[in-house]
Structure 1
Amino acid sequence: MGKRAVARAANDNGEHGTSDLMLNAALRHFAEHGLGAARAAREKAEAAFFAGDRESYDWWLGVCRTLDRRLAASVERDTRPRRG
């Protein structure tokens, strides 16, 4: 007997909460910026953070996270309030 088929594709992002709207935005951003798209999204997120625009920060962080989860995690670490 063969192995049972996997219920979800390995690259299916559904379990990570990526909305269709965010995925569409990330793909459009990638089409515009190519391989530098995640870095461009990071720059936009950081600029929004330092401008005090939380809504734009969250949006661009989401785009960055969709394209590169590790890079987005570094943005979150860099913009986290410091304790001390």
Structure 2
Amino acid sequence: MSVHFAAARCTTQSPLARALAKRPVAPAANDNADRNVAIDQSLRDALLHFAEHGLDAANDAARKASDAAGAGSDDEYRHWIGICGKLDGRLANQVASRGKTAEDLLIG
């Protein structure tokens, strides 16, 4: 039995030619091409806090939120509970529920 070579009808349609063809390089997905995207300040603060404290950042933010709640500093408490919420929402909910007293739950 003889073997006959049958060339592809079109080299651009050949599966081998398509596999070996050089494709244009797509732009990076994280190159921040869209500069109009606003980054939330609390997210920026959470990322900076994470960069400084690593994997313990959420626990550190929770401790600072608890300390601020104990000191009565509402602005500082909201700042740290927001950072903790961005890093670990479950931990932030636990801290927030512990920080509420009976007086906080009363209206008026």
What's the TM-score bracket when you normalise by the shorter of the two chains? 0.7 to 0.9
* Structure 2 counterpart of 1:70: 90
Q: For structure 1, which runs of at least 5 residues remain unmatched after alignment?
A: 1-18
| Alignment equivalent of 2:57, drawn from 25, 37, 40 | 37
**CA–CA distance in 1 between the matches of 2:96 and 2:43?**
20
More helix by share: 1
Q: Indicate the RMSD between aligned Cα atoms, in angstroms.
A: 1.2
**CA–CA distance in 2 between the matches of 1:51 and 1:35?**
26
Deviation sequence 1:15-61 (CA, Å, 0-9, x none): xxxx6100000000000000000000000000000001010000000
- Give the fraction of aligned pairs with identical amino acids, expressed as a percent: 45
Q: How does 1:3-82 map to 2 (within 5 A)?
A: 20-82=40-102
- The letter of the residue matching 1:48 is A
**CA–CA distance in 1 between the matches of 2:102 and 2:58?**
25
Give the TM-score, by structure 2 length. 0.58
* Structure 2 counterpart of 1:15: none
Q: For structure 2, which runs of at least 5 residues remain unmatched after alignment?
A: 1-38, 104-108
- Once the two structures are TM-superposed, the CA of residue 82 in structure 1 deviates from its matched residue by 3.0
**CA–CA distance in 1 between the matches of 2:87 and 2:102?**
26
The total of aligned residue pairs comes to: 65
